[in-house]
Amino acid sequence: MDIEFNKNEDAYRQLISAMEKKMEKIYLGGGKAKIDKQHEQGKLSARERIEYLLDKDKPQIEMGAFAGDGMYAEEGGCPAGGTVIVIGYVRGKQCIVVANDATVKAGAWFPITGKKNLRAQEIAMENRLPIIYLVDSAGVFLPKQDEIFPDKEHFGRIFRNNAIMSGMGIMQVAAIMGSCVAGGAYLPIMSDEAMIVDKTGSIFLAGSYLVKAAIGENIDNETLGGATTHCEISGVTDYKCKDDKDCLDRIKNIFDKVGSFKEAGFSRAEAKQPKKKAEELLGIVPVAAGKQYDMREVIDRLVDDSPFEEYKEGFGMSIVCGYARLDGWAVGIVANQRKVVKSKKGEMQFGGVIYSDSADKAARFIMNCNQKKIPLVFLQDVTGFMVGSRSEHGGIIKDGAKMVNAVANSVVPKFTIIIGNSYGAGNYAMCGKAYDPRLIAAWPTAKIAVMGGEQAAKVLVQIEVASLKAKGEKITSEKEAELFNKIKDRYDSQTSPYYAASRLWVDAVINPLDTRKWLSMGIEMANHAPVKKKFNVGIIQT
């Protein structure tokens, strides 16, 4: 390997180490003392519950671990959004598990908690994936109630989705393993089956203090809404469990007897390891933005050791399109080319930029994948569409619209991995979050924004300087440089993959070596939901 490869690898391993350290802190939720208190109450922590529930010999992926990262500082933070969400397997059945973390503000719902829970339900509905709720929550975080309670995508949407999923025949199982109060009480009872842990689980519309204040009745929480009350008197819950493990064992037993359902029928052959070592990904992709590399080298380390059938290889070379197998699954890959190449037309095509011919090629390829019922994988490292008079006169907007239209109307499942830059309309054309990828993950090198920090800072500085000069202020070169650095630093912090992950613009920041697992599990998940819609590109003709 050359010196550049070694430098890339060293820098990447440092990024991964920093990511893992952040994760270790997040995994502690509200802190070790709070976890110890859970144990004293005879309760497992949210992560311990999930670990006990899921099959040990099967892979799993966590969604939204960085949700809330760097947010709600005045409230003491909200690690992982106060909720742990994992896609895994119970008795061999793929499912999604949502567990309230009671060590974080007693499991209360912050605005990001609601957004994260809605994302879990969206995944369940899109993929007809069974969903398990492990409930242990004090309800809405009251100081933020105006940001979580009344709007369309707020708390009430959760129960609406419960009802929609029930109508769709998507299996929902709930375990009341701690507090479950007020409006939150509807979630487990709108599930297909609900179980409750004796002495630690409770469910009611209003707790004992509120009951006393409202109607003057003196009653304790256990009598009001404990396991005995709801399993033997009200009939609200279906199973009474002696402790957390007994409760989780009952869920396992339920899943052990679940039958199979109709699948989408995506092609899968025997899985093979990539033809080149996956570990080499860390040395191929530069940590520094803007440096060149060949996206085909990345593809060779992600897909199976089988032919990569490249579509229109010599045309529209700033995007690489082709068919391959990934862990046995047939996929269509759309990837930005970062290598500088020279076309037969004699022009240089610079990495990460989408040209008219590339957009046209990608749109046609996406149409072909829809016709053949092949899931799409987008590998993003895009700085946007080509600008300038030559591109404008050549109809770049029209060709870009074709590609965006094809992505938007695609009916086969889409999966997006953001490797490097994800800027401007390039984010949209390459299936950013707004275009409904089934899963979207970022590598630690990802940068997501309207444009790069330096370009944005130059634009904003020009505007700011013009404004100050209009007010009669004199701007020195030193003052202008100071202003530039201040704006660039702020902008750069907002392009970080962790900034995006904290707000759930991406589902996770992942180790590049986990990319195959994410994509394979995602396609398996999508295979639960037959494709019923017909692909139609609308008014934009290709």
Task: Give me the mean pLDDT over the 249-278 stretch.
Answer: 95
Token pair, residue 109, equals 């719902």
- Three-state SS annotation for 406-461: HHHHCCCCEEEEEEEEEEHHHHHHCCCHHHCCCEEEECCCCEEECCCHHHHHHHHH
Per-residue pLDDT of 202-229, as tens digits, reads 999 888 888 888 899 899 889 998 999 9
Residue predicted with more confidence, 492 or 23 = 23
| pLDDT tier for residue 91 given thresholds of 50, 70 and 90 | very high
User: What whole-number distance in Å separates Cα of residue 134 and Cα of residue 400?
Assistant: 44
The yes-or-no verdict on residue 184 having pLDDT over 80 is no
Among 194, 225, 125, CA closest to 528: 125
Among 438, 379, 382, 427, CA closest to 404: 427
Task: Give me the mean pLDDT over the 338-359 stretch.
Answer: 75
The yes-or-no verdict on residue 346 having pLDDT over 70 is no
Residue predicted with more confidence, 157 or 349 = 157
Task: Give me the mean pLDDT over the 106-130 stretch.
Answer: 96
Task: Give me the mean pLDDT over the 44-52 stretch.
Answer: 98
Give the pLDDT of residue 114: 95
The yes-or-no verdict on residue 347 having pLDDT over 60 is no
| pLDDT tier for residue 294 given thresholds of 50, 70 and 90 | very high
- Helix, strand, coil proportions of the chain in percent (round to 5)? 45, 20, 35
| pLDDT tier for residue 54 given thresholds of 50, 70 and 90 | very high
The yes-or-no verdict on residue 278 having pLDDT over 90 is yes
Percent of all residues in the chain with a pLDDT value above 90, rounded to a whole number: 71
Give the pLDDT of residue 291: 85
Chain mean pLDDT for the chain: 91
Give the pLDDT of residue 307: 85
Give the pLDDT of residue 345: 61
Give the pLDDT of residue 538: 65
Give the pLDDT of residue 289: 73
**Least confidently predicted of 79-93, 383-397, 420-434, 458-472:** 383-397
Per-residue pLDDT of 499-525, as tens digits, reads 999 999 999 999 999 999 999 999 999
**Least confidently predicted of 282-286, 413-417, 532-536:** 532-536
Burial 478-503 (b: 16+ CB within 10 A, else e): eeeeebbeebbeebbeebbbbbbbbb
No. of H helices and E strands in the chain? Answer: 20, 20
**Least confidently predicted of 3-17, 167-181, 292-306, 339-353:** 339-353
Task: Give me the mean pLDDT over the 366-372 stretch.
Answer: 96
Phi and psi at residue 282, to the nearest 5°: -70, -25
Per-residue pLDDT of 298-334, as tens digits, reads 999 999 998 899 999 999 999 999 999 999 999 999 9
Measured over the CA atoms of residue 101, residue 102, residue 103 and residue 107, the dihedral's sign is positive
Residue predicted with more confidence, 126 or 292 = 126
The yes-or-no verdict on residue 276 having pLDDT over 60 is yes
Burial 335-356 (b: 16+ CB within 10 A, else e): bbbbbeeeeeeeeebbbbbbbb
Give the pLDDT of residue 467: 80
Give the pLDDT of residue 87: 98
Token pair, residue 278, equals 């996956």
Burial of 445 (C-beta count, 10 Å sphere; 0-12/13-18/19+):
buried
Give the pLDDT of residue 540: 57
